[in-house]
Structure 1
Amino acid sequence: MKKPSQFRVPALLAVIAVFFALTLSITPAHAGVKPGDVITPKNAEQVRTLVSPGAYVAVAKGMQMNIVAPSRIDWPPPYQDATEKYSGQVRLGPDHRDLLGYVAGQPFPILDPNDPDVATKIMWNQYLKPIATDDFDLRYFECQVARQNPGAQQQLMLLTETGHLAGYSDIGRTEVEPLPVDPDFKISGVWSRVGAYPTLTPAEDRGSGAIRYRYWDANHGDDAWAFLAGTRRVRRVNEVMMSSSPGLSTWDADHVGGFGAKPQEYNFKFLGDRSMLACAHAMNSPAHPCSTDGGATSCTDDWEMRHLYVVEVTPRPERIAGVLQSKTIVYVDGEGWFSPYVDSYDRKGELWKTQIYLNSYRDRPVPDAKVAVYPFKREFGTAASSIDLQSGVATTCYLPGPDTPERECWYINMGAVDREFFTTEALTKAGH
């Protein structure tokens, strides 16, 4: 017979699952929207309190939403198993920055809103979420830059296409050998690697790209390198540049995929948990540009009521001089642990940018997939918009792109990339 300490976590996870099921079933009746509603600028006021301030601006300027009944999201079974096996030994370090005892799965499956460290625990859960634990390779993703223009057709300012947006984790591995920790971790201390290269279009940037390393050590900042088409050389990138946007694009490296800056360099404040709208079961894949906001975002897609945690993120004093955002408000889905939207404020404290993510929950990225087919349903993105609300310029990335040669696009925990992909040598070779 198992001892109580051995089955406590699975039992509590079951209780949480029932809670979410009940919450999801009752929220629409109290929210001011109901399944079947279509939200347009004419009735955008109905969702003002059900989305972030930045997302509300997007809706008011033409991003339409279909309201549907909420559906449950289950974690990938290997991630669930790792959570039950290892979460009981995880704790925050004395300085509330380090994560101690972590191996794999979700570090903090049981959260108490009255815990003074609940915001930090929520954010660690968000960083170590079940979407992609081992590796991912997002191929031929397309990004379109357009200006918000309510009621108008799309007028592109810039179209970009990149060969790979990929990542590899040394720890927290649940599906692909080596499990659960890559032996390299003890040598390099690298927590994760990401890379975006080579740029395929526009022609003047062809071959450009970048890679970034994140270290588990709280005091070791991220390392990043870029290969620029103009110089045909690799140069080191200062970490403070990760919060700025290059060229016309409104994306910055610290806000790709949600809030993605090094967690130990920021403070987190819990602002509460709320029932809010999120796109968790997108119907369109590939997604397509909105015909009602100038193509600034992707619509119309399905949005449903979800249980979200709200966390305010501010840079620690030692990082504040190099960060353009005075604060970022992160909204985290309490079941899938993705962020449906993230709002950033400039140094004057004014709303500056919003990121909006459309997510799908299925066993393949497109209906006719032949290779990217998973043994269970998993959550992944179909489109992501970064909108500069002060200028009205938006960059929306399509995953997969509507016109790219690689339709399957998402390869998650398939061993599609290894550590060698994330080297300056590989970056340089692809650039030439």
Structure 2
Amino acid sequence: MPSRLIALAILVSVAVLGSASHSYPQAAQPSSPGAANTLLPGTLIDSSNDPRYTQFLPAAVQAAIRYGMKIRLVPTQRLDWSAGFTKATEKYSSQVGLDQEDDITNYVAGAPFPTVDVSDPKAAVKIAYNWHMGPFMPDDFSLAPWGSFAYSSAEPNNIQPEEDYNYVCDRLTFLRFAHRTEVDPLPTFGANSQGFEWKARCNEWTANPAGDLGEGSGVWLRYLDPHRGDEFYGFNPETRRVRRTASASIAVSEACRSCHQPYWAYALPKTETYRYRLLGTTPLLACMTASEEPAGLKQQTTSLTLPEEPFELRNAYILEMTPKAAGFGNLRGLVFVDTEAYVWLAAEFFDASERTAVAVPLWRSHPSPAGGNLFDLAGEFYIPSRQPPTSGRAEHSAIQTRNGITSPNYPRWFFRTLRPAREDFDQKINSGDVGEEIFNPQTLAR
């Protein structure tokens, strides 16, 4: 099976990681006494003053500011859950529990644990389930193209594509079979006798300079059974065969870790494959209301730049995630989860004691037709510590010659984003138009 398609299979299936107890959404409050006076709406944070705000800035945002990103502080907003999600929470949450292995029981839809006491010994795993089943999870989703797009920069406000390192599929389609709250049928899609949580499909790869044109298509299956791993069916156009493999989300190589860990768009990691610790709560600046989509990159005449984005003060749980599987305990992650909306606000990844990557999402909330808010992942930055070789293209060579990629002021900066820096993409969320038939692995060969 083509290596890049396997990498994307892992990428999709792994997609990584609030102060008082709360019942239903409440406006986030800063837990630092001076935070409210320091972070005034209207303040512009850029490379000239960002050290003043380091305690509130995710590591990935600090890196982006160094290369030209600016953030404008806006008032903290109350982000109510959608009416469908709230209704499901009220109807089903009282019956939800944890078994002796901390696996969720009797969960149907909505927030499984709407009230979390941080002193509860099970608070960490309850927060993890709230994140996994959070209000940003769509019932169906389609985006073309979709993938991990690579970029680099040798100086601020001069960002170039690194297309050799792109992982892109022509169209990604996602359908939730259980826990549905927005689109009929609710809360389950059909009889679901095989116990699927969701299915996802990636169509043909788009062309890139590495020569991976039409490298294959794939279907991913996530099961409700906490002890059953994900499955992946990949189609090889050369052999015309569909091959089934187990896609263990945590059994990944060093090479794959650089591409799969940040992409928690809608196919989050399987909660039961990790151990969790709640390390506390913290005030954190986060983008919840991106003004454009895609967010995070802006096309100029000859290059891309990092635009100004709106950020607000949120309150976040700090979750430590450690894989349960033997041999992978070194792949630790820290995830910052919003205490109100249960979306992730930032993440840091470690291999033993070495921090290997940081990530930050740019969310765009919008009104749900029935009331409350829905969330789109409008953009994202994933910044690995280990930089890949530069491509041999002339424009990159010129930048390196002029500025020197080993400059102590501005070394070469490589990062990934979930969104392409262009407007010609097609996205549909909760349309009700995604059918089950396209997820039959045998349709890959047609």
Q: Which of 73, 87, 92 does residue 93 from structure 2 map onto?
A: 87
Whether 1:421 and 2:431 are equivalent positions in the alignment is: no
Matching residue within 350, 354, 370 for 2:354:
350
Equivalent residue, structure 1, for 2:180:
173
| Structure 2 counterpart of 1:115 | 120
Whole-angstrom distance in 1 between the partners of 2:68 and 2:238? 38
Q: In the TM superposition, what are the counterparts of 1:211-222 in structure 2 within 5 Å?
A: 211-222=219-230
Between the aligned partners of 1:243 and 1:291, the Cα distance in structure 2 is 37
Stretch moving more, 227-236 or 207-216: 227-236
The counterpart of 1:384, out of the listed 371, 376, 380, is: 380
Amino acid at match of 2:346: Y
Query: Whole-Å Cα distance in 1 between the matches of residues 235 and 333 of structure 2?
Result: 29
Asked if the contact 2:197–2:224 (Cα under 8 Å) also holds between the matched residues in 1, the reply is yes
Contact 1:250–1:387 at 8 Å: present in 2 too? no
The answer for the alignment partner of 1:314 in structure 2 is 322
User: For 2:31 and 2:119, how far apart are their aligned partners in 1?
Assistant: 25
Distance 1:188 1:44, change over 3 A: same
Any unmatched runs of 5+ in structure 2? 1-19, 388-412
Equivalent residue for 1:276?
284
Provide Cα deviations, 1:123-168, integer angstroms capped at 9, x if missing partner.
Answer: 1011101113422222334653112434141221115653322222
TM-score (norm 2): 0.78
Match of 2:144 among 139, 148, 151: 139
| Residue of 319, 334, 337 corresponding to 1:332 | 337
- The whole-number CA distance in structure 2 between the counterparts of 1:164 and 1:181 is 24
Question: Structure 2 CA distance, aligned partners of 1:334 and 1:259?
Answer: 20
C-alpha distance 82-65 of structure 1, shift in aligned 2 (>3 A): same
CA contact (8 A) 1:119 1:269 kept: yes
Q: Which runs of 5+ in 1 are unaligned?
A: 1-11, 364-372
Q: CA deviation at 1:340?
A: 2.0
Q: Which amino acid aligns with 1:57?
A: A
| Counterpart contact for 1:290–1:300, Cα < 8 Å | no
Q: What is aligned with 1:210?
A: 218
Within 5 A, what are the aligned runs for 1:17-416?
A: 17=25, 20-21=26-27, 23=29, 29-30=35-36, 32-96=38-102, 98-141=103-146, 143-158=148-163, 161-185=168-192, 187-202=193-208, 204-206=212-214, 208-228=216-236, 232-240=240-248, 244=252, 250-252=258-260, 255-257=263-265, 260-287=268-295, 289=297, 299-316=307-324, 319-321=325-327, 323=328, 326-346=331-351, 348-363=352-367, 374-376=369-371, 377-391=373-387, 392-398=413-419, 402-404=422-424, 406=426, 409=427, 411-416=428-433
CA distance in 2, matches of 1:262, 1:207: 27
Following the alignment from structure 1 to structure 2, what is the Cα–Cα distance between the partners of residues 222 and 271?
29
Matched residue count: 396
Residue 125 to residue 256, structure 1, CA distance change in 2 (3 Å): same
AA partner of residue 377 (structure 2): G
Contact 1:134–1:169 under 8 Å retained in 2:
yes
Cα distance 1:320–1:22, how it changes in 2: closer, same or farther (>3 A)? closer
Q: CA deviation at 1:39?
A: 1.9
Residue range with higher mean Cα deviation, 261-270 or 202-211? 202-211
Q: What is the TM-score normalised by the length of structure 1?
A: 0.81
Query: Displacement, 1:30?
Result: 3.5
Instruction: Summarize deviations over 1:332-377 as a string: whole Å, max 9, x none.
Output: 112221112221112x3211112221111124xxxxxxxxx94544
Displacement after TM superposition at 1:205 (Å): 2.6
Between the aligned partners of 1:214 and 1:84, the Cα distance in structure 2 is 26
- Once the two structures are superposed, residues 177-226 of structure 1 have per-residue CA deviations (whole angstroms, 9 ceiling, x without a partner) of 322123443x2122222223232333633363332211222221111123
Q: From the superposition, tell whether residues 119 and 73 of structure 1 become closer, same or farther in structure 2 (CA, over 3 Å).
A: same
SS of residue in 1 equivalent to 2:29: helix
For 1:88 and 1:154, locate their aligned partners in 2 and report how far apart those are by CA, in whole Å: 50
Cα shift at 1:239 = 2.5
Contact persistence 2:157–2:304 (CA under 8 A)? no
Distance 1:157 1:248, change over 3 A: farther
| Contact kept? 2:178, 2:188, Cα under 8 Å | yes
Shift of 1:324: 8.6
Paired with 1:137 and 1:127, the residues of 2 have a C-alpha distance of 19
More displaced, 415-424 or 226-235? 226-235
Structure 1 residues 28 and 85: CA distance shift in structure 2, 3 A: farther
Q: Secondary structure at the match of 1:70?
A: coil
Bigger mean CA offset, 236-245 vs 267-276: 236-245
**Alpha-carbon separation, structure 1, partners of 2:148 and 2:294:** 13
Give the Cα separation in 2 of the matches to 1:149 and 1:25: 37
- Quickly say closer, same or farther: Cα 1:426–1:42, change in 2 above 3 A: farther
Structure with more relative contact order (C-alpha pairs < 8 Å, separation 6 or more): 2
Is residue 145–residue 296 contact of structure 1 (8 Å, CA) maintained in 2? no
